[in-house]
Structure 1
Amino acid sequence: MAQYVIGDIQGCLAEFQNLLTILDFNPGTDTLWLTGDLVNRGPQSLATLRLIKQHDGCMQTILGNHDLHLLALHYGYGKLKRADTISDILNAPDRKELIDWLCQQPLYRQQKDYVLVHAGIWPEWTCAQAQLLAQEVETVLQHKPTHFFAHMYGNQPVRWNKHLSGDERLRFITNCFTRMRAITDYDALDFDYKGTLDDMPAHCLPWFKAPNRRNIDKTILFGHWSALGLYEADNVVCVDTGALWGGSLTAFNLGDRSVVQTPSETKLKFENFTHKK
């Protein structure tokens, strides 16, 4: 019996199936944690979503920013972008079943000494606090999705304040769990930088290197930051290794912390489309 964490799939079904074959994955005994962004930008978003939903007893995911984008479009918010590859889901005969299932997925999972999120946890939050904040968002998302998506998009506020309330509070929490990479040296979210650690501007630092970070009692597993790549330090493990961009799809074994990868078959070649998520 093995448990693996697999990085952002984003519709790269061939790589996902190759990786499951290499792992000799057994749905009857083995389990997967998926870092979210199951869909979008890759070539087989619909088939990927159907496969994971079919095996949701052993393939557990959290929501990423691309998954939320799909849900928002379903509920009539946001705009379909040129590089999006989720129209087949929005036009699928089983669209409602897929959307309803995706809406029930959390932003945060925890098991023993491991926590799974898509992008990160705000440095001021403990893991226990982060779990409660994630549940705040999940409750609104699952019970009032139209209201949630009407107010989800936006970059404000950029700083945490325990007195934040309403839609601003939900938006900040959601942005931390699904969009965060860098924070500024004055404790604010930075949505612009998406590159490597070596090229990070002097006024920014990765969220997991923030001074006095409070969520170091567990190992935080995440994806989202493909330019960071496989990263195991600072009580975090990043497993987004850019399958979408010509890199690889990565599985991290929670038992022995070993890594298995399969190379990309899906490198995007959009004209004037840069390495951004």
Structure 2
Amino acid sequence: MQAPSSNNDTRSPDSAAQQQRQQTVVDTPPPSVSPHLQQPKAYGRLKARAADVKSFRAGPPTLLEKKEFSAKEPKRLIFIGDIHGSLKELNLLLCKLKFKRDEDQVVLVGDLVAKGPESVGVVRRARQINAWCVRGNHDDRVIRWREFLDGPGATLSESELKSLEKSGGLPYDDFKVGKDHYQIARDLSPDDITWLKSLPTILPLLSPYSEWVVVHGGLDPSKPLLKQSAEDVMVTRNIGSSGPTSSRDEGKAWFELWADKMKGLSPSSGAKDLNFDEMHYNKIIYGHDAGRNLQLHPLTKGLDSRCVYGGQLTAFVLPGEKTASVTCPNYDGGSGSDGKDRRRRRRDSVPNAKAEPMYTVEQGRERQ
């Protein structure tokens, strides 16, 4: 019997179609993407492509938000410097000031998180007392980590993230897998992170404190408020030849230039955009500059007094322009600390961060 011709297909139509699909569907990632990142997890989702990871960008921070006082104007505004996870010291300072929630308004200058032992607790304490706050650069890094971990990083294991970090494949140069900001981003609840993301970088106050503005880092004296860069406002220490910089070695301290400008201030073109007379906003409260320690000048109040470096946590109170402070341990261990001890202390104090209730005063009690 003559063998069937090679051109004749004796398979059923269904099996032929199945083989055709197997030949045409090629499950191979593009050459620029690691095949390892394309393997599905046990729960069936595909892992993020390396290109998507590298190109990820978090949502931009809100530049400016004006806060309205409630029907009952607070008796005191209590401005507090960089807390950096120092929950115990925050509570001690509030108790020292005899903070009363229904009479006082707390305003935080940013950097609630990182370096200290209880970052999650500080965020929840701030929410609990309805504190006003601006976004600091460490808060911003935690926010960016969380948005990434909720986005293209959601399907990547920690070991895979570390591999990407080593190869320069993470979206931000300041991302360090397994370190403080990464762990805090994972520990914060959805409500915590929503609140943190809502914080503006510039907070101008209204009457009777309409001459005051709160930022974390500093302002560019050459620009009106609405023309400032949200990113620069969080990190500015000096103004150099190319503009704002975080370096103290280049140019001149921004607050010195600010004082120079205020001597001859006139309304700027930005005043119409802001719908208020910008020349009223001439006093700035800020943090971020632990290297210069507490800086109290007529027009600027720098409240970063090295809390996590064995310094103090400082409050500035209006009316009256009085200060108060409490001593802090050296939680950070110096600029070279890798954060392992901080993570251990935080996990001891917040065993289940996502389920943890709002924090209460640990030392003393608020006046009721």
* TM-score of Structure 1 vs Structure 2, range by shorter chain: 0.7 to 0.9
> How far has the Cα of 1:37 moved from its partner?
0.6
The structure 2 residue matched to 1:102, chosen from 187, 196, 205, is: 196
Aligned residue identity for 2:323: V
Q: Counterpart in 1 of 2:38?
A: none
2:177 & 2:313 partners in 1: Cα distance? 24
Q: 1:222-264 CA deviation, whole Å, 9 max, x = no partner?
A: 0000122221225111011010111100000121001101001
Aligned residue identity for 1:254: L
2:123 & 2:216 partners in 1: Cα distance? 17
Q: How many aligned residue pairs are there? A: 220
2:195 & 2:244 partners in 1: Cα distance? 30
> How far has the Cα of 1:88 moved from its partner?
4.5
**Residue 188, structure 1, aligned to residue 188, structure 2:** no
Please give the secondary structure, in 1, of the residue aligned with 2:125. helix
**Residue 2, structure 1, aligned to residue 76, structure 2:** yes
2:233 & 2:307 partners in 1: Cα distance? 21
Aligned runs of 1:260-275 on 2, under 5 Å? Answer: 260-269=324-333, 272-273=336-337
Work out whether residues 12 and 266 of structure 1, in 8 Å CA contact, stay in contact via their aligned partners in 2.
no
> How far has the Cα of 1:83 moved from its partner?
9.2
Give the aligned CA root-mean-square deviation in angstroms.
Answer: 2.4
Q: Counterpart in 2 of 1:207?
A: 254
Q: Counterpart in 2 of 1:176?
A: 232
2:236 & 2:145 partners in 1: Cα distance? 21
Q: Counterpart in 2 of 1:71?
A: 143
Work out whether residues 62 and 109 of structure 1, in 8 Å CA contact, stay in contact via their aligned partners in 2.
yes
Deviates more, 1:216-225 or 1:33-42: 216-225
Larger Rg: 2
Aligned runs of 1:1-277 on 2, under 5 Å? Answer: 1-56=75-130, 59-76=131-148, 77-78=171-172, 79-81=174-176, 84-92=179-187, 95-111=189-205, 112-125=210-223, 129-130=224-225, 132-133=226-227, 173-184=229-240, 186-193=241-248, 201=249, 204-210=251-257, 212=261, 217=280, 218-233=282-297, 235-269=299-333, 272-273=336-337
Sort the Cα spacing of 1:95 and 1:23 in 2 relative to 1 into closer, same or farther, 3 A: same
Sort the Cα spacing of 1:262 and 1:231 in 2 relative to 1 into closer, same or farther, 3 A: same
Work out whether residues 213 and 283 of structure 2, in 8 Å CA contact, stay in contact via their aligned partners in 1.
yes
Work out whether residues 35 and 117 of structure 1, in 8 Å CA contact, stay in contact via their aligned partners in 2.
yes
Work out whether residues 244 and 268 of structure 1, in 8 Å CA contact, stay in contact via their aligned partners in 2.
yes
Aligned residue identity for 1:255: P
1:83 & 1:270 partners in 2: Cα distance? 19
Deviates more, 1:17-26 or 1:263-272: 263-272
Q: Counterpart in 2 of 1:149?
A: none
Please give the secondary structure, in 2, of the residue aligned with 1:42. coil
1:179 & 1:71 partners in 2: Cα distance? 16
Deviates more, 1:227-236 or 1:16-25: 227-236
Deviates more, 1:7-16 or 1:79-88: 79-88
Please give the secondary structure, in 1, of the residue aligned with 2:247. coil
Sort the Cα spacing of 1:234 and 1:124 in 2 relative to 1 into closer, same or farther, 3 A: farther
> How far has the Cα of 1:176 moved from its partner?
2.2
Please give the secondary structure, in 2, of the residue aligned with 1:227. helix
> How far has the Cα of 1:21 moved from its partner?
0.8
Q: Counterpart in 1 of 2:157?
A: none
Percent identity between the aligned chains? Answer: 25
Work out whether residues 143 and 185 of structure 2, in 8 Å CA contact, stay in contact via their aligned partners in 1.
no
Work out whether residues 312 and 325 of structure 2, in 8 Å CA contact, stay in contact via their aligned partners in 1.
yes
2:216 & 2:179 partners in 1: Cα distance? 19
1:208 & 1:227 partners in 2: Cα distance? 14
Alignment gaps of 5+ in structure 1: 135-172, 194-200
Q: 1:33-84 CA deviation, whole Å, 9 max, x = no partner?
A: 100111111110011111112222xx11010101110010011153543794
2:286 & 2:201 partners in 1: Cα distance? 11
Work out whether residues 229 and 241 of structure 1, in 8 Å CA contact, stay in contact via their aligned partners in 2.
yes
